[in-house]
Structure 1
Amino acid sequence: MLRPMRFTYAEAMTDPSYHLPLARAAEAAGYSSISVADSLVYPEESDSRYPYTPDGSREFLEDKDFIETFTLIAAMGAVTSTIRFTPFVLKLAVRPPVLVAKQASSIACLTGGRLALGVGLSPWREDFQVMGVPWEGRGRRMNESIEVVRGLTRGGYFEYHGEFFDFPPVKMSPTPAEPVPILVGGHSRPALRRAARLGDGWMHGGGDAEELDVLLAGLAAARAEEGTADRPFEIHVISLDAYTVDGVKRLEDKGVTDVIVGFRMPYIKGPDTEPLAKKVEKLERFAESVVSKVNP
C-alpha cells in the first residue's frame, strides 16, 4: 500500500524569530516536514551564478538572515514533537563529514529520528575558498562525504580509506535507532547518479513541469543503471502542481513522495516584510484546502 503524499513547508530568509512559531504552526496544520535552508557567507564580490534564478543572479541573498542549519533544527525540534526536518540542502562538500555525522546523529537522537539529511554541492566557489576546501574534485569529495556520514551515523566502529578522507576504525555515541535518510540534491547527471547510487532520496530544486519530467526520467534511468530501482527512495519536488489536489495526484502518479510548498517568492532583494500572522494564515489555508483533501 502506498503511503500518503507528504507535504514540506518551506520558509527561509525571514525574521529569525519567526522560525519556531512557524514550525509549531506547520506541525499543528498537518505538514509532514519543514525545510531548512543553508547558507554560510555572502561575498562582497563574486562571479558565481545561482542555478535556480532565470538570470543567475544571487543579489537576493545579500543581508538575508540564515541561522546555522543544525542549530535551527535543534531549536525547532525542541518546540515540536512530530514534524520532520529536511535541510534543503546542506552544503556537505565544504564541510568536514565527520563533524556533520556527529551533528546529524545528535539531532536525530534529540528529535526522535525527525531528520532527513538533504545534502548537495554548493554552487559558490567562495564557500569552498572560505572553508579551505578545493573546488577541484568536489564531486568525488561529495561522494566520499556521503559515505562517511552514512557509515558513522549507523553506529559501531567504522573506518574509511578514500582519496580525500582516511581514518582508522572509530565510532560515535549516541547514534539514532534508525539510519538517518540522506537525500541528494542537484539537477546534473552526476547529481542524479549520486542520488541513485548513494542516496535514500532526491531533492528537486525547482523548474517547469517539462524539466521535472526530464529529471524524473533521468533519475529513474540512473537508479536502473545503479541497480537501486527496487530500493525505498524518497522524491522531493517543487512544482506548481503541488498547490492543487488534482496536481498532487499527478505528482503521485509520477512517483513523487514529498512536495515542497512555500507561499512567497524567495528570490527578491531586500528584507522579508510579511508579518508572522500572515505567514501562519497562508500555511493554514493551504493545509485546509489541499493537505486535508489529499490526506483526509
Structure 2
Amino acid sequence: MRFTYAEAMTDPANYVPLAKAAEEAGFDCMSIPDSVAYPEESSSTYPYTADGNREFLADKPFIETFVLAATLAAVTTKLHFVPFVLKLPIRPPVLVAKQTSSLAAISGNRFSLGVGISPWPEDFEIMGVPFEKRGKRMDECIQIVRGLCAGGFFGFKGEFYEFDPISLTPAPTEPVPILVGGHSEPALRRAVTLSDGWMHAGGDPVELDKMLDRITALRAEHGMTGPFQIHVASLDAYTTDGIKRLEDKGVTDVIVGFRYPYVAGPDTEPLADKITHLQRYADKVIARSK
C-alpha cells in the first residue's frame, strides 16, 4: 500500500513545511488541490457535500496546481505529487501536457496527473470552453496529454482538437501515470479505458465497494489484466486492519487527511498540530503496514 497525504484550502505558507514533514514521516505522495476561480454568483452545487452547498469555498486560498506541485517538488527529494483532481477539459490540453511533462522531468518522475471533469458550468465559461460534450472533450484531452508526454512526435485529429505532429522536450524518462477521478459510470469507464488508475473522493463504504466491483467488471470486459492504480479516501485507511481490508479489495493507494475542509471560514488549525497528526498516523499506520 502507498500513502498519500491530503491537505487543501489551508494557509499557503503551510504547504512547504507540510510536504517536508510528510516526506520525513514516510508518506509516498501528497495531493495537490485544484481550483481556478470562485464566481460571485452561481446556482451550481458541489457533488461531495451532503447538501450540495459550495459556499465553504468562498475566500479559500488555492495556489495554482502546477505552481504548487513544482514548489513542493523543489523542496523534497522522494515525495510524489498528484492533483486531486485537475479540471482537465477546461484547460488547453497541449499546455497541460507541457506542464505535466516538464514537472515530471524536472522532479525525477515524481508527478502523476489526476484529472476530472469540473461539475460547474462557470469553470468552463470563464475559460472559454463549451460545457456541452465535456465528457468527449475530456476523452480527447487525456489522449493528447498521454501522447505528448510519451516523447517523440505526436499529432491528433479529433472532434475538438487537431494538430500536426509536435514534440515536447524534455520528456520524462518514465511514463506519467494519468488517473481519473469521479464516481459516475462514465468516469469509471474512462478510468479503465483511457488511464492508469482511478481516484475516489470519499463517501459511503458500500458505494465504494460497488464502484470497485464495477471497475473489476469493466477491466474484465475490456480484457485488461495489467497494473491499475486505485486511490481511495476511506475511513478504513486510518487503521492497520482497515488497510488490510482495502488491500484485499485491490486498493493500491490510500488518501488521508486529518481535518474536514468543507466548512466556511479560514483553516485555523495550527501548523504544529497538522505535523503532529501526520507524524502520529505514520507511526501508528504507515510503519505497521509496510
Please list every run of 5 or more consecutive structure 1 residues that lacks an aligned counterpart in the other structure.
none
The equivalent residue for 2:219 is 223
Q: Deviations over 1:154-193 (max 9, x none)?
A: 0000010000010011111000001100000011000000
- The ranges of structure 1 where at least 4 consecutive aligned residues each deviate by more than 6 angstroms after the TM superposition are none
1:169 aligns with 2:162: no
Q: How far is 1:113 from its partner?
A: 0.1
Pairs within 5 Å for 1:11-50: 11-50=7-46
Tell me the SS of whatever aligns to 1:134.
Answer: coil
For residues 34 and 67 of structure 2, the distance between their equivalents in structure 1, rounded to whole angstroms, comes to 11
Deviations 1:194-225 (A, max 9, x none): 00000100000111110100110111112122
Measure, in 1, the Cα distance between the counterparts of 2:49 and 2:210.
19
Give distance in 1, aligned partners of 2:89 and 2:203: 24
Structure 2 match to 1:193:
189
Q: Which residue of 2 aligns with 1:132?
A: 128
The one-letter code matched in structure 1 to 2:121 is R
Residue identity in the other structure for 1:253: D
- Secondary structure of the 1:236 match is strand
Task: Say which of 83, 92, 101 aligns to 2:97.
Answer: 101
Query: What are the residue-to-residue correspondences of 1:194-213 with 2, within 5 Å?
Result: 194-213=190-209
2:74 is equivalent to residue 68 of structure 1 = no
Match of 1:149 in 2: 145
Structure 2 residue corresponding to 1:256, chosen from 242, 247, 251: 251
SS of the residue 2:230 aligns to: strand
TM-score (norm 2): 0.99
Aligned to 1:87: 83
Could you say what secondary structure the match of 2:255 adopts?
strand
Aligned partner of 1:289 in structure 2 is 284
SS at match of 1:7: strand
CA-CA distance at 1:78 after TM superposition: 0.5
1:215 match: secondary structure? helix
Alignment of 1:112-131 (within 5 A): 112-131=108-127
RMSD, matched Cα? 0.6
Matched, 1:241 2:236: yes
Q: Distance in 2 between matches of 1:63 and 1:258?
A: 31
Q: Deviations over 1:116-136 (max 9, x none)?
A: 100000011100000000000
Q: Distance in 2 between matches of 1:67 and 1:144?
A: 26
2: distance between equivalents of 1:186 and 1:225? 20
Unaligned runs of 5+ in 2: none
Percent of pairs identical after alignment?
A: 64
Give a deviation string over 1:45-99, Cα, whole Å, max 9, x none. 1111111100011111110000000000000000000000010000001000000
Separation (CA, whole Å) in 1 of partners of 2:160 and 2:222 = 23
CA distance in 2 between counterparts of 1:222 and 1:40 reads 32
With normalisation by structure 1, the TM-score equals: 0.97
